[in-house]
Amino acid sequence: MIHAGLIGCGAIGSTLAKAIKEGKAGQTKLDYLCDIEKELLDTLYDEIGDETIEKTTDILELIESPRIDLIIEAASREVVTKYAPSALKKGKNLMLMSVGALADTKLCNEVNNIALEKNLKIYLPSGAICGLDGIKAASIEKIDHVEIISTKNPRSLIGAPYLLVNDIDISKLEKPETVFTGKAKDAINGFPKNVNVAVALSLAGIGVEKTHVKIVADPNATKTRHEIRAIGDFGELVTKIDNYLHPENPKTSYIAALAGVRTLKKISEPIQIGT
């Protein structure tokens, strides 16, 4: 049995907590809930209705708890940057939804080294994309090119630092417009809440400095589309997924939360499917 603590009771966290309660996440038991927003914390706690769960607004309290051996992060990039190294040092395995934090190579190496030393795991769910299995296999030999094109409704992108800094107004678009082209490393800084997938793809493939990202704002889009193309010694890969938006957060695709649930199930399963 995995004893888990959850940081973040928002869109993904709520879906994860409810799925664990319903037995959809394999041998996972939720022991701790944390959110800085007390109201959100209390609401989810009441919805789950399990008095064996402890709750806190203080991340450190959760990290220190001897009850848990896996911390599920569904909060923010800042939470990963600030707390992932110390959580590992406390002997906790991690499952991170804010994968974008690991675009910081220094942090990525640091958490990798602590986990190696302490024999712990850091699980990064494939989130809102499909095709990571192929990219991982392909990465054993040379991959020449990886690109991801993400097409989103402008309301999923509003507030992104890149748009604010460059004074790009996407609120009155009438047709699809490319708002960013560049490398994954810059994409995640410009769109920290939108392109975690580009960083997951980079970590599975050729890295954040080489993975190409294009972001398109489409006023008629009702779903978020991610298309991936890769070329290398293996051949050529093309994937496309059209995701429904999470009902509680239009920046998040619903399947990202499901990928988290499936990762928890995988951790506790004897048969491991996929690369």
**Residue 177 in 3-state DSSP?**
strand
Of positions 70, 72, 99, 237, contacts ligand NAD by CB under 6 A: 99
204: its two tokens: 């599975």
Q: How many CB atoms lie within 10 A of CB 129?
A: 26
What is the rounded distance in angstroms from the CA atom of residue 82 to the CA atom of residue 60? 11
CA-based diameter of the chain, in Å?
54
Which residues lie below 8 Å from residue 168, measured CB to CB, with a gap of 6+? 162, 179
Q: Alpha-carbon torsion 157, 158, 162, 163, what sign? A: positive
Of positions 31, 35, 104, 227, contacts ligand NAD by CB under 6 A: 35
Q: How far is CA 250 from CA 156, 240, 259, in A?
A: 5, 19, 17
Binding segment toward ligand NAD, per CB under 6 A, in 131-139, 203-211, 229-237, 247-255: 247-255
Of positions 11, 213, 258, 264, contacts ligand NAD by CB under 6 A: 11
Binding segment toward ligand NAD, per CB under 6 A, in 76-84, 132-140, 213-221, 234-242: 76-84
What is the rounded distance in angstroms from the CA atom of residue 165 to the CA atom of residue 230? 31
What is the rounded distance in angstroms from the CA atom of residue 3 to the CA atom of residue 206? 34
Residues forming beta bridges with residue 177, ordered by sequence position: 217
Q: Of the two residues 36 and 137, which places its CB atom closer to ligand NAD in the complex? A: 36
Binding segment toward ligand NAD, per CB under 6 A, in 94-102, 154-162, 232-240, 265-273: 94-102
Q: Of the two residues 43 and 234, which places its CB atom closer to ligand NAD in the complex? A: 43
Q: What are the start-end ranges of the E strands in 153-234?
A: 177-183, 212-217, 224-232
Contact status: 64 vs ligand NAD (CB under 6 A): no
Contact status: 81 vs ligand NAD (CB under 6 A): no
Whether residue 226 lies in the annotated active site: yes
Q: What are the start-end ranges of the E strands in 37-87?
A: 54-56, 70-73
Of positions 55, 152, 185, 193, contacts ligand NAD by CB under 6 A: 193
Q: Of the two residues 190 and 232, which places its CB atom closer to ligand NAD in the complex? A: 190
Q: Of the two residues 59 and 232, which places its CB atom closer to ligand NAD in the complex? A: 59
R_g of the chain, CA atoms, integer Å: 18
Contact status: 40 vs ligand NAD (CB under 6 A): yes
74: its two tokens: 């569904």
Q: Of the two residues 232 and 251, which places its CB atom closer to ligand NAD in the complex? A: 251
Minimum CB distance to ligand NAD, residue 262 (Å) = 12
Residues between 114 and 133 with contacts to ligand NAD, criterion CB under 6 A: 127-128
**Active-site hit among 3, 145, 212, 226:** 226
Minimum CB distance to ligand NAD, residue 75 (Å) = 4
What is the rounded distance in angstroms from the CA atom of residue 254 to the CA atom of residue 67? 29
Give the closest residue to 201 by CA, choosing from 73, 79, 99, 84: 99
Binding segment toward ligand NAD, per CB under 6 A, in 9-17, 47-55, 156-164, 226-234: 9-17
| Residues forming the site for ligand NAD (CB under 6 A) | 7-13, 34-37, 40, 59, 74-77, 79, 97-99, 127-128, 193, 196-197, 248-249, 252, 256
The residues carrying an active-site annotation are 226
